[in-house]
Amino acid sequence: MKKKIQVTIGLLIGVLLLWYLFKDTDWREVGLILRAANVAWLILTLLVILLSFFVRVWRWGYIVNPVVPVPFWHLFSATQIGFMANFILPARAGEVIRALALTRSRNIPFGKTMAFVAVDRATDLFGLFVVFLITLMVFHPAEDVYLPEDFRNLYAGPISQGMIRGALFSMTAVLVAVVGMMLLLIIAKDFFLHLSDMIIGRVSTRLAEMARRLFEHFTEGMHVLTSYKDLAKACAVSLLLWATFGLVQVCAYMAFDLDVPWYTPFVILSLLAVFISIPGPPGFIGPFHAGIVGGLILANPDVNMNAARAMAIVGHLFNLIPIVIVGVICLSLERLDLGELKRQSEAIDNSAAPNSDAKE
């Protein structure tokens, strides 16, 4: 029931965002803008997106390989299967499915693979933290920003610099808190193990033993947080990954001949991170478009709205289609079934252990 409510809310948010974004669209102008887009820059945009797939796996290798050596291909396939799941399944199941895919392909305990995913997300948050920091440093609108006339019924008031900075500071605080909690798990490992044994042991000794094994594997999987050398490498590659995301934005501006300030990629990436973090429909349909269009409005309130919409449509498709295609290929080569991985992830969400292929 809880998941159904979450999915329903996500769908409603996606539908509302799409309606507000596109209800006054001049589709004829959008079509003309799409036909006039620079093909060379569009191809480069797609190539940089594909490059980001490999950079993401390069980063994950610095987290996984110090604990369990895993060939690049298996890291790549697990990552792409997980990201495909995030795009086509509700409730952001992709992170658990990425861990399960690596567990199934390499027979690594699920607790460890889930820790690998968690630490990878933490290093990703480090890159996002830097993006937020740069946005705070360089984005200083001379006056309050107002939404275009099309969106005044959504919010007609001013968007002040203080509001923007407050939102960024809040998100940054959340990022720091997440990383801090992960470090606390390692530092106070014995305390949490004792607490787990004491609480869960009252219910079931077998369940307590299972929880202990999962927790121990999880903390072992977070080894990189105690290895400054490997952590520095992962964080450096994370910065490179976010640089590729920014480069994707720049290529897209060039493709659609958009006149925007140089700092626009930082504004859009910051807003995209906020929008896709909220509950939404599969494929980030709605939140993804809102992040791009909203970022363009904040950076340049006079931006051509139909050009912004055209860029949002292409940007979403350029991410969605390659992720799905590559993910399907990886599923086939790894001989995995997405439906089965989804059922396992749901079992884990319901506090059940994965099946025998994810043995502890």
Within a domain: 197: yes
The tens digit of pLDDT for each residue in 310-351 reads 999 999 999 999 999 999 999 999 999 988 888 888 777 665
Q: What is the pLDDT at residue 353?
A: 42
Of 75, 122, 132, 73, residue with least CA distance to 102 = 75
Q: How far is CA 80 from CA 2, 108, 239, 264, 360, in A?
A: 27, 18, 20, 28, 24
CA dihedral 10, 271, 172, 51 (to 10 degrees): 100
Stated pTM of the model: 0.82
The tens digit of pLDDT for each residue in 207-241 reads 666 666 666 656 666 666 667 788 889 889 999 99
State yes or no: pLDDT of 154 exceeds 60. Answer: no
Within a domain: 247: yes
Q: What is the pLDDT at residue 210?
A: 65
* Residues 122 and 182: beta-carbon distance below 8 Å: yes
Backbone φ, ψ for residue 23 (5° rounding):
-65, -30
Within a domain: 208: yes
Within a domain: 17: no
Alpha-carbon span 312 to 300, nearest angstrom: 15
Alpha-carbon span 310 to 275, nearest angstrom: 18
Please give the tally of structural domains in the chain.
1
The tens digit of pLDDT for each residue in 285-295 reads 888 998 999 89
Tokens of 79: 């990552």
Per the listing, tokens 């903390």 go with 219
Within a domain: 135: yes
State yes or no: pLDDT of 359 exceeds 60. Answer: no
Query: Could you list the residue range(s) of the whole structural domain that residue 271 is in?
Result: 33-355
Q: What is the pLDDT at residue 146?
A: 58
Per the listing, tokens 């993910």 go with 327
Alpha-carbon span 324 to 344, nearest angstrom: 20
Within a domain: 12: no
Please indicate whether residue 204 or residue 80 has the higher confidence score (pLDDT).
80
- Write the DSSP assignment of 160-196 as a string of letters: -HHHHHHHHHHHHHHHHHHHHHHHHHHHTHHHHHHHH
Within a domain: 149: yes
Within a domain: 161: yes
